Chain A
């Protein structure tokens, strides 16, 4: 259970600001389709600074598509079309001419772990180097800090020059998280990060995520309902491209829901 938030708040899609300041992400009438086949329809909601925003839902409900739209992967994906708008920090993501600058502020962890075929060290130093950090000492510090946070340092500290792509699946997943952290992102997107990771490590990473909340905003897509319950301040339920419900996680799990389907999913009746 997450402390101090969402205890007795009203619940609705128009949930009032839980946190100080304007939302970091404003989604308006967002529609995503692949070659004409819709993946997400009419999504409108806000995500606030320093919250962990959970997204749950069965497969093919548009969760991953939403993450891909956030860092404009549609530009590099043939057939992917995005309508509506997404504002990050008040600026429409489509207004970024240099979309690489946008992406560098967003850390992403996708379900299939990808260790780049570079050394473990270079994997984590990749993004800092893009930012222009060249000093060995500084890079060493970033690499160690990020690997430690991703609960991987102890396992790889003696073989930082082995290929990242040859680590075990679980290690590669944590390497991916370390890489995302090395971007020093404002926004961290996690897509079912625990699929390839054992339960003990998952718990360690979850602890790290809770700590990170003070520094950045996290969007957590998960197929584990209990993981959303453990981590997320608010949770959205996506179903076949529709945003069915958004509310404080507490409320959802207390069955204070607007839509019966949410209860059905949470109780495991489908999905």
Chain B
């Protein structure tokens, strides 16, 4: 075997190793689905009552006569995420517009770095901020007995979801060719009109994807919501009410369950729900983004 053949064999081997690495992401995502389904399956096929799961607010897995109504948890997640988006979508898109359309040179660089740093703050630190800074602040400002709830978690989550939305929205805006802007300006459009009648319509798919990924981020956030939402099973009627999120429920209860028991299975079932919903969100965002690339 001469050197050339040796190189050929090395190359073939490397190709297979790299291919194995290449499909690792698929292996892991399928693995995640298989493992959480495996642990949750007994519960899904056994004690799970879908009607109760989606309509009852009684999540009492540890009582003598356990009930598994996840409605309050779903509403809790939805209310916190919804509140967060109310705050975060306009601010993020506005910030993206500012960075992409107005800021130049150093300002732009600094803002981009700040947004990136914002994304780096760990969720447990956000949760701590919610508990120890926002909590007393909300009590003082609104004169309410408890500062942990939809408002607190929503504010925190809004700030957490903002960077990803800003970054992706800015990419989408930057992808609009300058020729469009120049053409509109040449026709006498003001900057305001250029942005609202040309730039935003041209990048709407990307902006939509940005919002979707922001929703996904908020929906799946665990530690911050666990610490800032008050973690009480409750259908909220005001922004100051405590709620409990799907993610937080798993985080707080898994440690106390018996492996293979119904409670255990119910938590993995919540995991399956979370997995499926985020998968659909990401898939939709991917299809939406692919839509613009095709054009």
Q: Using a CB-CB cutoff of 8 Å, which residues 99-126 of chain B contact chain A?
A: none
Interface residues on B, range: under 10
Please, which residues of chain A bring their CB within 8 A of the CB of B7?
A: 100, 130
Please, which residues of chain B bring their CB within 8 A of the CB of A130?
A: 3, 7
Please, which residues of chain B bring their CB within 8 A of the CB of A157?
A: none
The answer to whether A131 touches B3 (Cβ under 8 A) is yes
Please, which residues of chain A bring their CB within 8 A of the CB of B8?
A: 97-98, 100-101
A132 at interface (Cβ–Cβ under 8 A)?
yes
Complex Cα distance, B8 from A180, in Å, reads: 21
A104 at interface (Cβ–Cβ under 8 A)?
yes
Complex Cα distance, B11 from A100, in Å, reads: 10
B5 at interface (Cβ–Cβ under 8 A)?
yes
The answer to whether B3 touches A98 (Cβ under 8 A) is no
Q: Using a CB-CB cutoff of 8 Å, which residues 1-26 of chain B contact chain A?
A: 3-5, 7-8, 11
Interface size on A, residues (CB 8 A): 8
Please, which residues of chain B bring their CB within 8 A of the CB of A97?
A: 8
Complex Cα distance, B4 from A130, in Å, reads: 8
Please, which residues of chain A bring their CB within 8 A of the CB of B3?
A: 130-132
Complex Cα distance, B3 from A104, in Å, reads: 12
Task: Kindly report which residue of chain B lies nearest to residue A102, judged by CB atoms.
Answer: B4
Q: Using a CB-CB cutoff of 8 Å, which residues 50-104 of chain A contact chain B?
A: 97-98, 100-101, 104
Complex Cα distance, B11 from A130, in Å, reads: 13
Q: Using a CB-CB cutoff of 8 Å, which residues 108-135 of chain A contact chain B?
A: 130-132
* Chain B min CB distance to A186 (Å): 15
Complex Cα distance, B5 from A101, in Å, reads: 8
Centre residue among A98, A100, A132 by max chain B CB count within 10 A: A98
Complex Cα distance, B4 from A186, in Å, reads: 17
Please, which residues of chain B bring their CB within 8 A of the CB of A100?
A: 4, 7-8, 11
Ordered by A's residue number, 7 sampled pairs between the chains whose C-beta atoms are within 8 Å are: A98-B4, A98-B8, A100-B4, A100-B7, A101-B4, A101-B5, A130-B7
Q: Can you add 9 more A-B contacts, CB < 8 Å, to A98-B8, A100-B4, A104-B4?
A: A97-B8, A98-B5, A100-B7, A101-B4, A101-B5, A101-B8, A130-B7, A131-B3, A132-B3
Task: Pick the 6 closest A-B CB pairs, nearest first.
Answer: A101-B4, A98-B8, A132-B3, A98-B4, A98-B5, A100-B8
